[in-house]
Structure 1
């Protein structure tokens, strides 16, 4: 990068190098690309050092980035959609002290991810980090596996959230009219309608998206407070001959027998609800190229989202745990939506309808945030040639400066997945249950590499964990390694195990990842070399070769064994 006092006429340049930037790049530590007709700001400079040109308007701030992320987290709708697992596997004990234990591991993942984001603030996020940090020769495979797992989580997020919102809408209709029973066809059409609305909204300019999601996130927070107050003030347990709130000895001490496993394993299995609820804080990573002061604001937004979500999520868990009347009745209700069944138990019908309405609106905002985050991931992977038709999906609309093609690509895929509604509850649940597992596998892969394999090729960004980096990363890695097999356990075993009771997560996620690995072995390993830079600027001094999928050098100069500089075709480093 040319300093602000450079002199073009004299041919004298004061150069900056990649090593001068607080980022870990796939570029060798040579000169930063620059455009002599354009003065780079700090964010453009950092992104150029990572190997990418700025294609978006940076109209997200720390607050608006947090708003999108918190909307994707969607505490209220996420809790409502996963109550079956959180309460059903271990009862109220899993919701109280179980949540606290799970949050130790989840916060470790979030903090380690934030450190990576500060060091590599790109839309590719975790996939880029896995490629850079992997040992020499393993970067492309690490990026490939991380990218496909993350993309799988992203493209299933919006349809699953909208499916949950549709189920709550139709459950509210059933409460209001007991003679009405929702059909699969109605659920499908309503969910597709939400997908289309969110796709139009996600195609808007960045400035509008930032403002819209600010409103959505503020509503999410207000709705959460309103629901907590409505439940606490409106509970009518006393009319059923019960105390106003449950006894602490029962709430904290009784582990519900919702699975054919020991109590400790049932509590661990209930973490699937926590993991799914707390799986949206990676969004600031994917929005980093649209955020001002990205290598500080984006990691802060990650930490803010996970911390605020963890605290208020636990409060909501406590409220429900202390007011539920009959766990079995909640799980077996004909309403088909456990959260709606719980509300009917503990509050009057009008309050139940009001709470469901607030939850549905919050779910709408959550689905919108999921669509935005997923489109940025699709764009980033298409930019690097990972997807069929990548050239088309990687286009940025010249009017909105957003990846509109990627938005609608995800919309079509989501609507196709929703056809599984007609195959029955087991089929549709098998698709959407993989979100938490796929996301946390992708979250932790670069963290695991950072902890156990990185040898000097990680340059911490301005937001970092210092000496706690390795210990926290080790806790995050151990937590996810423990939870991956737990998340694949069926609720029953032995003679009690049926097709309907089978946990198909391992088949859907594992099968998809095996297909991706098969593609890698047969074809992709020959042409996929990790993240591709797309800089189209001049280089100061000399051209430098891009080390795709290899480790970055921390020394501030090219390695001794680096190949000699080579010319690049049409000004593009590939």
Structure 2
């Protein structure tokens, strides 16, 4: 790929799968967005929307996996965009890299903020006198980011071990939650309840409300590019990285559907629980009692913390690679590697500081925080879509060992179509009446990001950044290997 090797290959096939599986994180995703789905379509959209969107995301993952096999680098999306573009390679790479960076920063911020929110919910259940506040949420988020940065700083091996643990935490935790919801409650909804439709979005169109409900699954299925970003630290990355992407999506789809069904059939009072501050937590309390609900809430919190850790790891590698090509301010700092731990330590702390900056407005306004992190999913999926779109236009694409053969362009076409549709949905109003508190700020946040990237590009970047840098021929690069 034209780079001297700085990072050690300590990630096995399972470790590579684990990072994407952990970032997708069905427990974190479903518990964070289940309440929105109850009001935007209800059980019918939560279940059948989950199935449909999962299939579409598999198309995205398959096309990304084919590209990952051809270009297994930490730069991942922005690197492959620069290589696949016929013209203006620097610009394609620049915009893809910044969309990916902003999306990942927003993902780390949103996941850890959600974890802090659920931690406060647990504390409030345990000690009723405790008053949950926005200021406490921000402070807890800062502590979480600090701990995750220390874990990423110490060694790649520790992160790999934690990601292995996280897979079993998710799977065993899901089994415990599902079995508890199936066996303990004395009342379950009838089988036909899965077809129940609810539209409490405020919009009169049930079709529109149901389409918004598809966002629950889209919110959950983000971050599977983590396997791509860890390519330079994965053995046999041309095969194991795409397999990690596909397995993470497929296993998450199956396990998530089971968890979704368990929560839906455990619902007692739909209207009461749908209007609760944390609907899935209220479902657990109503169905199982406060004591059991608290124990299950610990599983949910643990899943969110693992998700935030994996998000930061993936973001760090993207920062490292983007800086290696001189595309970030202070690039010389961010792509340096610690000789002791063999990790990009400075990039780790940048990956911790940026989410904290996004979280700070939550000290005063939850709406302001939501406006900033809403670009997470839009930024990531646009970053996913650019190299897939460029691969679709390229007639002489040279695939790697893992490829889709003659179906590559068809799969890429479906993937691009779904990315366009889902991003349009994410930028539409999601509640009515539209007020400053309910307004969807994703388009504004995305426009600000693109405006800054564009001004920066035409001001200075286009003269110094021409896309991924080559340090020499394969033989010359091999002689530069630092390990």
* TM-score, scaled to structure 1: 0.80
Alignment of 1:13-412 (within 5 A): 50-136=1-87, 138-236=88-186, 244-260=187-203, 262-333=205-276, 336-412=277-353
- Corresponding residue for 2:434? 497
SS at match of 2:154: coil
Deviates more, 1:398-407 or 1:215-224: 215-224
Secondary structure at 1:96 match in 2? helix
Give the 3-state SS of the residue equivalent to 1:161 in structure 2: helix
Kindly state the Cα deviation for residue 425 of structure 1 after the two structures are TM-superposed.
1.4
Say if 1:131 and 1:139, in contact at 8 Å, map to a contact too. Answer: yes
Measured against aligned partners, the alpha-carbon deviations of 1:295-329 in whole angstroms (never above 9, x if no partner) come to 01111111110100111111111111222233432
Confirm or deny: 8 A CA contact 1:89 1:258 kept in the other structure. yes
1:517 aligned residue (442, 454, 457): 454
Q: CA deviation at 1:537?
A: 7.5
CA contact under 8 A between 1:114 and 1:303: conserved in structure 2? Answer: yes
Contact 2:106 2:374 (C-alpha < 8 Å) held by counterparts? no
Q: Cα offset for 1:205?
A: 1.9
Cα displacement string for residues 170-205 of structure 1 (whole angstroms, at most 9, x for unaligned residues): 111222344432012211111111100000001122
Q: Deviations over 1:221-275 (max 9, x none)?
A: 1111111111112224xxxxxxx22234332242333241522222221222211
Residue 392 of structure 2 corresponds to residue 469 of structure 1: no
Runs of 4+ in 1 over 4 A off after TM superposition: 535-540
1:491 and 1:502 in contact (8 A); partners too: yes
SS of residue paired to 1:501? coil
Distance, in Å, in 1 between the alignment partners of 2:476 and 2:82 is 24
Change beyond 3 A, Cα 1:386–1:330: farther
Shift of 1:534: 3.3
Partner of residue 374, structure 2: 433
Whole-angstrom CA distance in 1 between matches of 2:124 and 2:349: 32
Aligned mates of 1:159, 1:324 — CA distance in 2? 30
Q: Which has the larger radius of gyration?
A: 1
Distance in 1 (CA, whole Å) between partners of 2:269 and 2:452 is: 43
Aligned to 1:39: none
Q: Which has the higher relative contact order, 1 or 2, with Cα contacts under 8 A spaced 6 or more apart?
A: 2
- Size of the aligned set, in residue pairs, is 479
Unaligned regions of 5+ residues in structure 2, if any? none
Compared CA separation, residues 67 and 426, structure 1 to 2 (3 A): same
- Separation of aligned partners in 1, 2:369 and 2:323: 27
Q: Which residue of 1 aligns with 2:395?
A: 455
CA contact (8 A) 1:199 1:411 kept: yes
